[in-house]
Amino acid sequence: MKLGIVVVYLFGEESAPLIELHLRHIEHHTEVPYAIYASVNRLDTRFRDALDRHPMVRICECPDTPLRGMEEHAHYLNHLVRLAVEDGVSHVVTLHLDSFPIRSGWAEELAGKLSSSCTLATLDRINTACLFFHREFYLRYRPSFLLSAAETESAGYRKYIDEFDPFQHSGIGYGFTAYRNGESWYYLKDTTGIDYTVAGRVYDDTIFHLGGAVRIGEPYSRPSDGLQSPGWGRFMKMVVAAARVVTPRPVRTFLTQRLSASIERFVDKPQRTLHAQNIQRFKEDPEKYLQLLRKNRQ
């Protein structure tokens, strides 16, 4: 087994403390031959140099793009996977700066989940924080991490959305590719030993994903990028359309302003504050925080 770990490194000062932790956990828990295929477009020189000094990181020159958000992320992932496969890896896994293995043997364990019919191992609703597959899946279908407009308008795609309601993010193309070719995938189970009031989740007691650490406070991506469900989006559009029919314009405007302000004040802002506080707690003592998330699981 030769593993290609594919990571788009695109972050700012606020998330820089995660670099050492991310690389250290990969190195400590990965027991098969591996290399990290990294894109560093738009990354500050200081952080690029830190990655370049690591013996297992291969900085890949990917074409620049004017795209931003999940489209930019998918653009770099497409190039990195191609480069890793051309380099001869047998398996590929995508990770984020804030996702990494927490138990040795993780790569062999995920590889063992794959079969002739199960072609992906991933987190809930197809997530590039951990998307594991064999090189043959890539070579057979040449999937893209995002889909074309024609693909998203197809009947097959609508059926896929209705059945699985995946997140609209940079891994949706791989999920749809598996689906339309009659193949399945394995979801790592959420084994976090504590409730959802903390940031970060543990999956199969194998992969940790902090979530949101890179997006918060940094200009290249919006908080909603990569975390929107197409099914939920369609439902909200129907609600809004119905409201427009039965509600006079002045009333709609008044309600929209009041509701938006209330949601921001009582829901969105407190959630962002709590999430930022938990991320800060994680950065202050990552190992203690991981032990908290894994309690009663070890």
- Tell me, rounded to whole angstroms, the distance of Cα 78 from its chain centroid: 14
Q: Closest Cα to residue 171, out of 154, 153, 185?
A: 185
Predicted pLDDT of residue 145 = 96
Q: Could you tell me which residues come within 8 angstroms of residue 150 by beta carbon, excluding any fewer than 6 positions away?
A: none
Measured between alpha carbons, how far is 161 from 172 in angstroms, rounded to an integer? 10
Tokens of 243: 């409201």
Strand arrangement of the beta sheet that strand 99-101 belongs to? 99-101, 207-209, 201-203
Predicted pLDDT of residue 177 = 97
Q: Looking at residues 253-257, what average pLDDT do you find?
A: 51
Predicted pLDDT of residue 297 = 55
CA atoms within a 13 Å half-sphere pointing along the CA-CB vector of 56:
21
Place 222 in a pLDDT band, splitting at 50, 70 and 90.
very low
Q: Looking at residues 282-288, what average pLDDT do you find?
A: 85
**Region of poorest pLDDT, from 34-48, 120-134, 223-237:** 223-237
Predicted pLDDT of residue 265 = 53
Q: Which residue has the tokens 């927490």?
A: 102
> Does 134 score more than 50 pLDDT?
yes
Q: Could you tell me which residues come within 8 angstroms of residue 16 by beta carbon, excluding any fewer than 6 positions away?
A: 46, 47
Q: Which residue has the tokens 């990969």?
A: 26
Strand arrangement of the beta sheet that strand 3-8 belongs to? 57-60, 34-39, 3-8, 91-95, 130-134, 118-122, 184-187
Tokens of 188: 């790592």
The single-letter code of the amino acid at 147 is L
C-alpha to C-alpha distances, 81 to 135, 198, 208, nearest whole angstrom:
9, 32, 22
Q: Could you tell me the fold of the domain covering 3-188?
A: Spore Coat Polysaccharide Biosynthesis Protein SpsA; Chain A (3.90.550)
Mean pLDDT of the chain: 83
Long-range contacts, stretch 175-182, CB < 8 angstroms, 24+ apart = 175/120, 175/122, 175/125, 175/126, 176/147, 176/151, 177/141, 177/143, 178/119, 178/120, 178/137, 180/156, 181/141, 182/117
Measured between alpha carbons, how far is 84 from 58 in angstroms, rounded to an integer? 10
Q: Could you tell me which residues come within 8 angstroms of residue 228 by beta carbon, excluding any fewer than 6 positions away?
A: 167, 168, 169
Measured between alpha carbons, how far is 20 from 47 in angstroms, rounded to an integer? 11
Measured between alpha carbons, how far is 52 from 67 in angstroms, rounded to an integer? 25
> Does 224 score more than 60 pLDDT?
no
Where along the chain do its domains lie?
3-188
For residues 108-143, one letter each, b for 16 or more C-beta atoms within 10 angstroms of the residue's C-beta and e for the rest, the string is ebbbebbeeeebbbbbebbbbbbbbbbbebbeebeb
